[in-house]
Structure 1
Amino acid sequence: MSYKIFFILPLLLLSCSVSDKQIQNNNTPDDIYWYQKDFTKEGVYGISLEKWYRENFKKTKEQIIVATLDTQIDLNHEDLQGQFWVNVNEIPDNGIDDDKNGYIDDYNGWNFLGTKGGNHTPKNNYEYVKIIRENKKLYDANLLSPFEKKEYEKALEYFTSYENYYTTYLNSLKYGKKIFNLAKDSLFYYYPKNQFKYKELDSIYLLIKKNDTRTFNDIKNTNATDFVALVLALKSFYQLNHFTYEQIDELEKSFDSIVNTNINIHLQERKYIGDDVNILNHNYGNPYVNIYDRQLNHNTEVSGIIAANRKNNIGIKGFSNNIKIMPICIANNGSEHDKDIANGIYYAVDNGAKIINMSFGKEFSIHKKWVFEALQYAASKGVLLIHCAGNDAMNIDVNSFYPSDFDYSKEEDIIDNFINVGSINKKTDSTFVSFYSNYGKKNVDLFAPGEEIYVCRKHNTYETDSGTSLAAPMVSGTAALIWLYHPNLTAQEIKEIILTSGITINKKVIKPGTENEMVSFSELCTSGKVLNTYNAMKMAAEISLKKGI
């Protein structure tokens, strides 16, 4: 996950989404499924999936495996039962590599963050911290390439800035917790019913500064000077969305975790995994992809969009029940290791996945060559790779974002079977591009619904969530559906179909990251289009027929 996502999260009360709300399973309003609707009929840029199903009753006996390189996943979710890949050549939990693929007991997938003791590693450093730790000596000795040197200096700038920010904020939160209740008790002198608002705190502060005639003799355990400090402290909390003490406590825990793990340059990230992240081997991890409850949501959301059961009349509807999800855990709280990404790709390809969904990203990549080689390996095996564009509202033509099919150091593409996906919402005016979505005329291929998406969450729950992480599986699901009905098509053909068949947007929109800067939508992505599954299926049928089944 991009470190910028985690930089924003604490200020949003630890929410894991841009906007989310829980909805009862059996009481879902129709507009919550906006992303499956049709523009012609319903006036939103949905993918028209249900329109295709209404018009097509043909069945297929084909099955397809979609690997999700992601977090841990809820294997027991009611809406994903029967939808997981099963390694039929492996006997689970017998401690033997039955199929001799190099992974013991990998019955449903693999956890590259698994420890030797059968547990899970929940946190990593941010990538810019890894770059500083691993490349400092090379930088000091002037042994880095010009691109690597520039990357190191950028990483150092980030580290210095964010270490100062997080540390300062953490200290203020600790102080805030210490004096929070004392400040409220002191304010009881002015507001016996404890009913006060920010503007009233401001008024009290101004009166004190003007040496108001009221004394502080009756204010318990404080004096005038301390009281000014207390009021100022309480004011600062009210400026932060009127936080409660409990919310401040949660913020402190979050920032403490960041300071002591994510940006801790001395963190031994792989202590319990037991491998060396600077050596590309694969004999590490464990088969347990659903053992860390706090990190089950993300992959469950992504996989549900792709393959949630269409026939059980609960939850949501994926693209097809013939899609099987292969969960591969490479993501936790922090930046993904390039070693895990590369091995995850190799594992997916070697075990039969035709599509790999990668709903994660980062601005730095310390071992990008390993990932490039893994992507090229996937291309050589005819596997399609789908990646989210990222949630930093930045131009990834000029700001690197990994993994990518573009080598920023050489400024050239490396493969032609990779689709990068930005996010849109259900509006149709100039604000329909998600405000957080990354963009790029060269390096974002198209946009897809990714905002206010109704998704599966852990423990059989459902909510709306947002992010390019949810736009990518819209494309993965579409690609899987095409391949199920037209298996004679290649990965490159499917990519071309998806990009060509989308809905062309001939309008100006607000550029992400700005308040009102207008740009042509065609400047935000290569195709100038948004995903449309109906059109893609129609075009695929035509091309497949011409090729001959």
Structure 2
Amino acid sequence: MKLSKIGFLIIIIFISCKSAKDSETSSIQLKHEDKLTSLSLQNWYQKDYSLDKTPGISLDKWYTQNKKQAKNKNIIVAVIDTQIDLKHEDLQGQIWANLNEIPNNGIDDDNNGYVDDINGWNFTATKSGGYVVWGNFEYVRLIRDWASSFKDKTESQITTQELPKYREYQRALKTQEKENIYYTRWLSSLRHSVKNYPLIKDTLKHFFPKEDYTYQQLDSMYKKHKINSKTYRQMRENDDKDLGALIYYMMINVEDNKKTLGDIKEDEAQLDSIVNKNLNVDFDERISIGDNPIVLEKGYGSNNVSNNKVGYRSIQDHCTKVSGIIAANRENKIGIKGIAQGAQIMPLNTSFSGDEHDKDIAMAIYYAVDNGAKVINMSFGKEFSLQKEWVDEAFKYAEKHNVLLVHCSGNNHFNVDENPYYPSDNNFDGSKEVCGNFINVGSISSKLDSTFVSTFSNYGKQNVDLFAPGDKIYTTSSGNTYMSDSGTSLAGPMVSGTAALIWSYYPKLTVQEVKQIILDSGTAYDIEVIVPGTKDKMVPFSELSKSGKVLNVYNAMQLAEKVSKKKR
């Protein structure tokens, strides 16, 4: 799980159905936007445009009108992610339990290859009893593993067969160089900030005794000194104490919600770990896990999917947020309402600060399938894949067993038809898709204007299947709390929850049918939007994904019923 450059992801951070294609889908031409209140923002994504003038997934509409009882409420949704807060009040009764395993007896009672796996498995646990917190980015692993074949060689020295790997190696080198410069400069800036913070505070007290300065006031003072950011960097490197440089720093601090010295020191510690662990070819977190990294095997890791020690709550944030969207209890009158009441969350830990290992991804998929999951949510991604073939085979295994894979498209605001992003059902070489059970999900906001597609969301007419709400989503969080967050990581579970809901009512549908139902039943908005990653490039919303639509639960359930009846 990669850290964003616009903010830290703190972890101390997816056979076509002819009958479905014949269905009618709604197409909406937007004429205005109704402003949402703070309260309605908490559940905007569950609303319906025709009823509420809000481009949600029409979940409330379906639950309000549905009078049927589910045939199988306990659909298992595997969430491949970080650790989870098993004690969260809104997830009680919603966590999968392995009834074939006797708790804590040190025996693999069900002979599935995992000892005491009561609620899932942690594939990032270490042999010493801990778990990985910091790990390499994938391009760093690629550079380390392929150096013996390609280091210091030119393209003319490479065989035709090895040329694709050589070029990927070169791409990895360029990525590491760019990222290393970026994060090293950022770390240098933070070290300068920590060193000079007391001086800055004391200096500004001379002008603002009550320390009640605003960004605008500091900006006015700063302009008098005509110090630009380049000059500031030079002063920082020379440890300059110029007033203009000090003001410039505090402007950044105020703009960043008035961080304290403690906050800045925490940022400094994290950046130090990025530079010396995430980006360091000589650091290999796999050693602490103690497995054989070049062999697919069962049993490494541990059954601890929820470390509840004091100070460890943030490592559970991501999975807890994702899981709440899918399955938070709808009937307990607290917190939020998940999409699929009764769905069971199977937490499978693979994520830490860095990029997930392809081995862990593949083994988590095999575990999920073998232990009864119908849907697998993967709210993570990376721009390189060292052992994609392992993941591809796991995808095919899931398809063979009628299991749906749901993946977030990523937050890089780029076109994934042109920029590889993994895991994916695409080989990015023009060949046929690996499998037919994979849905890639982009993010939309609640704004019915040119910014309808979230500014951070990846997109692609071929490789993003549809969009779902992922902007300002209020959900469960670690430490038994609730909060709003944004990212395609939150759009993916909207689709996972919908798939679980479909199967709970129509269990005989195939995975290909469920996928096609979700894509065909979405809402097609007739609107021009800004392409993410650009300032003002406008295109029809329909051009940014394969379906050109937004997830619609009500339509999906209606269509699922029609398809199910035709199968009888």
Asked if TM exceeds 0.5, the reply is: yes
Structure 2 CA distance, aligned partners of 1:190 and 1:491? 66
Q: What is the Cα deviation at residue 177 of structure 1? A: 1.6
Unaligned runs of 5+ in 1: 17-26, 208-224
Structure 2 CA distance, aligned partners of 1:86 and 1:265? 39
| Structure 2 partner of 1:163 | 180
Query: With structure 1 as the length reference, what TM-score do the two structures score?
Result: 0.89
| Structure 2 partner of 1:37 | 47
| Structure 2 partner of 1:110 | 121
Query: Does 2:436 match 1:416?
Result: yes
Structure 1 CA distance, aligned partners of 2:491 and 2:270? 27
Query: Does 2:406 match 1:386?
Result: yes
| Structure 2 partner of 1:356 | 376
Structure 1 CA distance, aligned partners of 2:77 and 2:11? 30
Range that drifts further, 162-171 or 198-207? 198-207
Match of 2:95 among 78, 84, 87: 84
- 8 A Cα contact 1:111 1:329, kept in partner: yes
Distance 1:193 1:414, change over 3 A: closer
Q: What is the Cα deviation at residue 103 of structure 1? A: 0.3
Structure 1 CA distance, aligned partners of 2:239 and 2:106? 64
| Structure 2 partner of 1:215 | none
Match of 2:199 among 171, 175, 182: 182
Structure 2 CA distance, aligned partners of 1:203 and 1:64? 60
The one-letter code sitting in structure 1 at the alignment partner of 2:391 is V
Distance 1:227 1:472, change over 3 A: closer
Structure 2 CA distance, aligned partners of 1:525 and 1:74? 34
Q: Give deviations 1:336-390, integer Å, cap 9, x for gaps.
A: 0000000000000011101101010011000111001110111111111110000
Distance 1:313 1:164, change over 3 A: same
Structure 2 CA distance, aligned partners of 1:307 and 1:463? 16
What secondary structure, in the 3-state scheme, does the structure 2 residue paired with 1:423 have?
Answer: strand
Structure 2 CA distance, aligned partners of 1:465 and 1:79? 17
Distance 1:167 1:237, change over 3 A: farther
What secondary structure, in the 3-state scheme, does the structure 1 residue paired with 2:288 have?
Answer: coil
Structure 2 CA distance, aligned partners of 1:375 and 1:226? 53
- 8 A Cα contact 2:376 2:405, kept in partner: yes
Structure 2 CA distance, aligned partners of 1:271 and 1:233? 43
Structure 1 CA distance, aligned partners of 2:377 and 2:239? 55
Q: What is the Cα deviation at residue 60 of structure 1? A: 2.1
Match of 1:145 among 145, 162, 174: 162
Query: With structure 2 as the length reference, what TM-score do the two structures score?
Result: 0.86
Structure 2 CA distance, aligned partners of 1:84 and 1:126? 30
Percent identity at matched positions?
51
Structure 2 CA distance, aligned partners of 1:280 and 1:179? 50
Match of 1:236 among 249, 271, 291: 249
**What is the 5 A alignment of 1:45-56?**
45-56=55-66
Distance 1:367 1:194, change over 3 A: same
Instruction: Give the alignment's Cα RMSD to 1 decimal.
Output: 2.3
The one-letter code sitting in structure 1 at the alignment partner of 2:471 is E
| Structure 1 partner of 2:266 | 250
- 8 A Cα contact 2:10 2:315, kept in partner: no
Distance 1:230 1:266, change over 3 A: farther
Q: Give deviations 1:417-463, integer Å, cap 9, x for gaps.
A: 10000001111122111110000000000001111111001122111
What secondary structure, in the 3-state scheme, does the structure 1 residue paired with 2:69 have?
Answer: coil
Q: What is the Cα deviation at residue 247 of structure 1? A: 3.5
Query: Does 2:3 match 1:8?
Result: no
| Structure 2 partner of 1:213 | none
Distance 1:147 1:199, change over 3 A: same
- 8 A Cα contact 2:11 2:316, kept in partner: no
Match of 1:367 among 378, 387, 400: 387
**What is the 5 A alignment of 1:466-505?**
466-505=486-525
**What is the 5 A alignment of 1:308-457?**
308-409=328-429, 411-457=431-477
| Structure 2 partner of 1:220 | none
Structure 2 CA distance, aligned partners of 1:195 and 1:322? 50
Structure 1 CA distance, aligned partners of 2:52 and 2:207? 56
| Structure 2 partner of 1:529 | 549
Structure 1 CA distance, aligned partners of 2:67 and 2:481? 30
Unaligned runs of 5+ in 2: 14-36, 228-237
Q: What is the Cα deviation at residue 229 of structure 1? A: 3.4
Structure 1 CA distance, aligned partners of 2:212 and 2:45? 44
Structure 1 CA distance, aligned partners of 2:341 and 2:519? 24
**What is the 5 A alignment of 1:212-223?**
none
| Structure 1 partner of 2:294 | 278
Structure 2 CA distance, aligned partners of 1:190 and 1:133? 53
What secondary structure, in the 3-state scheme, does the structure 2 residue paired with 1:348 have?
Answer: helix
Structure 2 CA distance, aligned partners of 1:319 and 1:194? 46
Structure 1 CA distance, aligned partners of 2:484 and 2:392? 34
Q: What is the Cα deviation at residue 92 of structure 1? A: 1.3
Range that drifts further, 254-263 or 73-82? 254-263
What secondary structure, in the 3-state scheme, does the structure 2 residue paired with 1:69 have?
Answer: strand
The one-letter code sitting in structure 1 at the alignment partner of 2:57 is I
What secondary structure, in the 3-state scheme, does the structure 2 residue paired with 1:265 have?
Answer: coil
Structure 1 CA distance, aligned partners of 2:503 and 2:11? 39
Structure 1 CA distance, aligned partners of 2:239 and 2:402? 69
- 8 A Cα contact 2:12 2:315, kept in partner: no
Structure 2 CA distance, aligned partners of 1:490 and 1:61? 16
- 8 A Cα contact 2:11 2:353, kept in partner: no
Q: Give deviations 1:200-236, integer Å, cap 9, x for gaps.
A: 54366469xxxxxxxxxxxxxxxxx987535424423
Structure 2 CA distance, aligned partners of 1:319 and 1:412? 33
The one-letter code sitting in structure 2 at the alignment partner of 1:252 is E
Match of 1:75 among 86, 99, 118: 86
